[in-house]
Chains A and B, each alone.
Chain A
Amino acid sequence: MGTIRLGVDIGGTFTDLVLLDDKTGQTMVVKVPSQPNKPADALAAAVERALKQAKVPAESVNLLNHGTTIVTNAVLEGNLARTALITTSGFRDVLEIGRHVRPDMYDLNQDKPIPIVPRDLRFEVKERMAPDGNALVPPEPDSVRAAVAAAKASGATAVAIGFLHAYANTEHETAMKAELIAALPEVSVSASSDICREIREFERISTVALNAAAMPVVSRYLEILGELTADLIPKAHVLLMQSNGGSMTVGAARQTPAHLVYSGPAAGVLACQFIGQLTQRPNVLGFDMGGTSTDISLVYRGEPLMTTEADVGGYPVKLPVLDVNTIGAGGGSIAWLDSGGGLRVGPKSAGADPGPVAYQQGGTEPTVTDANLVLGRLIPDRFLGGEMMLDPDAALAAIREKIAEPLGLDPISAAAGILRIANANMERALKVSSAERGYDPRDFSLIAFGGAGPVHAAALAKEVGFASVLVPESPGVFSAFGLLVADLRHDFVRSYMVGLDQVSTKMLTSFYADLQALGEQALKDDGLAEQRWVFQRTADLRYVGQAYEVNVAFPDGSIGADTVAEVKSRFHGEHQRLFAHSAEDDPVEFVSLRMVATGSVDAPTLRKQPALSTPVAQADTRDVYFEEANGFTACPIYQRQNLCPGAEFQGPAIIEQLDTTTVIHPGQTVSVDDWGSLIIGMEG
């Protein structure tokens, strides 16, 4: 049996691959340009190159897990399938009416997101379910027939079914689905109770509409992918990364592609969790800063934060996803002066095209990257390993003209100012993600990755007060590591609204048994051996009258009165932790029961890097600007590949590598750990 695992992260610009040999614990990385119109081709190119470089036979690859932006791109670019919706009579507009709230308080030109299913493709069936699952009106056969005929005539290649209260009783949706499949065998069909058996009709119907609309797109992609991988790596199980931090099989992805919406960022979070485990850091904050945006995620006591409040392109997706806060700030963020003469950075970005002024690709607005270059933190002829020459004079001229002269500053102070403002923006975002949610930054390490993360992390960590910064060995492909460690995962939910004083333990037992049966079936379908199955029960509860729920772990084993009492006490405790108060005497209710079914994958054993007798090899010295040094100061420049475990030195320092640059400020310390990560300590 083969021992090679591949993780492939298909991003907007690059497709990154990490190869792990489980026999030796050795890893290798490959980076190829993405092909937005043919994402599978870039994947294939990366795999081919990796096999060649690693000199391993194709048959030895037993697993390929990959992160994909295919669903997100289809949504954002409007390339979803033509989709119909079949819904309860009187409620076809639920999908379009939505929840009313406008994202911008002032903008008079904003629009609602265009519904995934237009009004003339939404068909009604006379049926009605009550919240307790009691069928008030069984589906009226004539209206069912009419809806099927209308869906057929509409030319839709996908049909979503969303009936009111289908979370409480799936019978009507199931019957409708059977009719549709029989009448329209070529069409993708998805029912809301299959993907999201949860109360709140707009969010559930929006989720099923997006899922149905993505099915034909994803199926086409998976077909191509299947052919390519069958040729290239015939023995490999092919998996896809889900937004919830687990992976899924190709078969599952065909049915529930909505689980792929945050596939890319999820891999980065898992990588953070993994390296946190590896280095005994249970609390880490992921800081993935790229050219146009920055993703911030949080792992607390070894568990990544999750949410069910995600949306993509304004469309809510009511599925569990890893909680990633994305802000529009990156290396390409543009510095500008507002009408009051104040210096601002972002949210407009020069992106990769035209990019910063220094790229000499037509960019004229000074960016954060230009400021870093002017201050000596990036080295002009070694950017991307020398593949791209940067022009510091052009960067300096742009900063002088656009920022320094209008403000009456010299260009160096202006460049330093751009970084101060940019860092102030990111400092806010880091505080929002940590302190303002009740997590003390001093208990956390910041994991810096992405092209620009390591440039800014050390300064930010000092301001916000993080314990330390960890820069992994390959920050530019770090997310792809997460793909190597993902378990197979299925999330199931079932809304059950009932007061704790009226709850039936028999019902709870039966609901959890149903959810577990679904989980077992799913893992069986994945082809996973039973000894790898893990089931985890949780429940969403709230005080009666609240409009939001708190998720707590539900004890294993048989369910009795004492179990309910335990859940209640966990709820009060969790409410206290999250919201700083709890009300022991107030009535509490269940809203939803959840089950996570996991098929565990063997954790990889990474090989420690050998320590050498001379772990530090200094390259040269340059003048670099540091505010702490009141200007330019002689600063040692290190090459990352020349630093080995055991290396230790003090800032200021610049550490260069192929895909990023790490900036260490005066007074900070650096060491290299056994896995080749840089650990930056704050002063003192």
Chain B
Amino acid sequence: MGIDTIGFGVFQNALVGVAEQMSAIIWRTSYSTVVREMLDYSTAVFDREGRIVAQASRIPMHLNSMSQSLEATLTRAYPVETWKPGDIVLLNDPYWGGQHLPDIQTFMPVFANDELVAIVGTLAHHLDIGGMRPGSYAGDATEIFQEGLRIPPIKIAHNYQLDPRLIDLIGANIRQPGKTLGDLRAQTAALEIGEKSILELVERFGVKTFCDFSDEAITSSERRMRACLKDIPAGTYSAEFFVDDDGVVDEPIRVAVKVTIGDGEIEVDFTGSDRQRRGPVNATLSSTEAATYYVIMSVADSTIPANYGCYKPIRIVTEKGSVVDAQSPAPVVGRNAITHTIANVLYAAFSQALPDRIPAAYYGMSNVHILAGDSDTGSSWIFFDIEVGGWGARPTKDGPDCYSQGIHNLANTPIEMVEATYPLRFTRYELLADSGGAGKYRGGLGVMREIEFLDQRGVLNTQFDKFKVAPFGLFGGGPGACGKLALKTNGQTTKLQSKTVNRALRPGDRLTMYTQGGGGFGDPGERDPELIKQDLREQKVTPEGLQRDYRLDQDQIKEYDR
């Protein structure tokens, strides 16, 4: 094929380096904890046709998350030939290829002399983008208009100068404009670093070789992805799985998938998934794609440089207006209820092809909880956190207890930090015995977290799921335990909905959350007695749980429990 293999190896390393360098700038210079602590941002380099050639992202939901927006921008707003050096295009509209409104994307062309050689892009989740609830997280939204400011592609900078009038327009529509606009400046700084680094590469390799190598980056990833897909037994594998409800209408939501693999290609067909919903759990196509790509990368070979070539052998089929391809004006901010379910349903399908490689279902939700209050000094506060549950058991070992899995990868907030900052006190944080699905290999345990509310008044909002639909086991393994939420007020305990909206909180109220366990793998009767003994010793299963889920009789349990 006549390509300089060694030179290409150096180029590819350097190209990923460009995306990483842009990423380092955003991390280093952004204000918000969403970016700094949750790493909810990514950076990418596209070729001159807008195909992604390199990306730096630290959370799965960002895989290829900018490609659709760039394509929409180039075909429907600003064709390539209208771009000039120093232009920056900004957008956040999920219905222009995005995922949800808080994600602001920016793009900048890179010209070597007068020739367009690449486009660089950034995406960052911002603290607030306006709308009916602080943090733009409205669990009761029924239209995207309630979720915040919608920005289709606009040229926000000409000749490297941001347009102050447009900046004012955005600032006027959001809470905490100083911080959001500060992070926006971090994004534009990253674009400029990206441009500079690309031009250094062009200088090192020459325009022609640079473009040839960009093409080769895509071709080589495609070759590797096809080779991986060939290793998966050909066939059609179908599965379906459910979200509890959309938080507005209490009905389960079906996510159906038919995966067809053959000849180094794969089709993922979501036909049969439910129509888009009134509540904000809907996923746009970009969200569905990211979740799908994540699962395929984790099943195939995660060392393949993630770019357009990787995704080329993957065809995703959806019905427009379904929960996996929502159309305007469906609300979308809680899309993760669907995308976590997509991950699990795809694992269910892949497990049929690769029974010895794929784990059972994980906890399946980000379990967002937001407590807000007015402290006695009159200033208001908001505490936002997520909680995870157990992994699904693997074909050769147990699932980890209470560990991030699937389409997100986030840290919890230290209890001491929360208590030092907010009028809240934790009373318990512990693993939930018996919550892991039974099996030859046990699902990971969920966790119980209990928080006492100490302020004068406040509200609770949550985005949980899998309260009614349990994480499934595989090959005879039992399901993981469902999640639940309870609120104790004046000695009275009430069960709460998974998606609780604006529930009032009073001093002394106690919120208890129970997160989901992972599904088990294989027949519980085949579990190694040594593992049962260890679980008993560590109180990860109880004698009652063993009797119920592993069908052991009292004598056997006594024997194990010595």
Contacts and interface: CB of A to CB of B under 8 A. Distances in A.
Given A99-B412, A165-B419, A420-B6, A581 B182 contact: yes
Given A578-B28, A580-B29, A108 B394 contact: yes
B388 interface: yes
Given A338-B224, A547-B33, A97 B447 contact: yes
A424 B9 contact: yes
Interface stretch (B148-156, B331-339, B537-545): B537-545
A93 B394 CA distance: 23
Contacts of A428: 13, 17, 20
A672 interface: no
B430 A90 contact: yes
Interface string B221-240: 10110011000000000000
A412 to B, nearest CB: 12
B37 interface: yes
A199 B304 CA distance: 40
Interface string A93-116: 110111111101111111110000
Contact of A100 (B189, B404, B417, B537): B404
A74 interface: no
A547 B412 contact: no
A120 B411 contact: no
Interface string A337-354: 011111110000000000
B414 A201 contact: yes
B431 A343 contact: no
B28 A547 contact: no
Contact of B411 (A100, A118, A119): A100
Given A101-B410, A339-B228, A112 B37 contact: no
A110 B398 CA distance: 11
B429 A111 contact: no
Nearest to A580: B29
Given A96-B401, A424-B10, A120 B537 contact: yes
Contacts of A497: 420-421
B503 interface: no
A327 B158 CA distance: 41
B403 A108 contact: no
A93, A111, A416, A543, most chain B CB atoms within 10 A = A93
Contact of B298 (A91, A108, A547): A108
A607 interface: no
Contacts of B28: 436-438, 578-580
B428 A91 contact: yes
A92 interface: yes
Interface string B280-309: 000000000000001001110111100000
B29 A102 contact: no
B359 to A, nearest CB: 6
Contacts of A579: 28-29
A108 B10 contact: no
Q: Which of A118, A342, A548, A583 has the most chain B CB within a 10 Å cutoff?
A: A342
A199 B59 CA distance: 27
Contacts of B298: 105-108
Nearest to A199: B416
Interface residues of B, number: 77
Interface residues of A, number: 68
B172 interface: no
Contacts of B33: 545-547
B311 to A, nearest CB: 15
A626 interface: no
Nearest to B39: A101
B513 interface: no
A22 B533 CA distance: 61
Interface in B117-134: none
A409 interface: yes
Given A118-B538, A343-B6, A431-B17, A93 B416 contact: no
Given A105-B59, A200-B416, A341-B5, A97 B400 contact: no
A344 B13 CA distance: 10
B540 A119 contact: yes
Interface in A56-112: 90-94, 96-102, 104-112
Contact of B5 (A91, A343, A438): A343
Interface in B190-241: 220-221, 223-224, 227-228
Overall SS of chain A's interface: loop
Nearest to B219: A340
B180 interface: no
B31 interface: yes
A130 interface: yes
A164 to B, nearest CB: 7
A100 B178 contact: no
B167 interface: no
Interface in B387-424: 388, 394, 396-397, 400-405, 409-417, 419-421
B29 A344 contact: no
B328 interface: no
A407 B5 contact: yes
A78 to B, nearest CB: 16
B394 A109 contact: yes
Interface string B355-369: 001110000000000
B414 A200 contact: yes
Contact of B178 (A339, A435, A583): A583
Given A432-B24, A581-B29, A119 B538 contact: yes
B146 interface: no
B375 interface: no
A100 B429 contact: no
Interface in A405-441: 407, 409, 413, 416-417, 420-421, 424-425, 428, 431-432, 435-438
B531 interface: no
B409 A339 contact: no
Given A105-B409, A409-B5, A339 B420 contact: no
Nearest to A113: B400
A202 B426 CA distance: 14
A234 interface: no
Nearest to A201: B416
A164 B416 CA distance: 7
A131 interface: yes
Interface string A170-207: 00000000000000000000000000000111110000
B223 A340 contact: yes
Interface in B419-477: 419-421, 426-431, 447, 450
B29 A436 contact: no
B392 to A, nearest CB: 9
Contacts of B396: 109
A97 B448 CA distance: 11
A100 B416 CA distance: 16
Interface in B11-33: 12-14, 17, 20-21, 24, 28-29, 31, 33
Contacts of A108: 298-299, 357-359, 394
Contact of A341 (B21, B29, B223, B538): B223
Nearest to B222: A340
A118 to B, nearest CB: 6
A100 B429 CA distance: 13
B560 interface: no
A100 B402 contact: yes
Q: Which of B223, B426, B430, B450 has the most CB of A within 10 A?
A: B430
Nearest to B176: A545
B6 A421 contact: yes
10 contacts: A97-B429, A100-B388, A120-B538, A417-B6, A424-B10, A437-B28, A497-B420, A546-B31, A548-B37, A580-B28
| CB-based closest 9 A-B pairs | A417-B6, A106-B302, A119-B538, A131-B420, A340-B224, A90-B428, A340-B220, A106-B298, A436-B24
Interface of A: 90-94, 96-102, 104-112, 118-120, 130-131, 164-165, 167, 199-203, 338-344, 407, 409, 413, 416-417, 420-421, 424-425, 428, 431-432, 435-438, 497, 543, 545-548, 578-581, 583
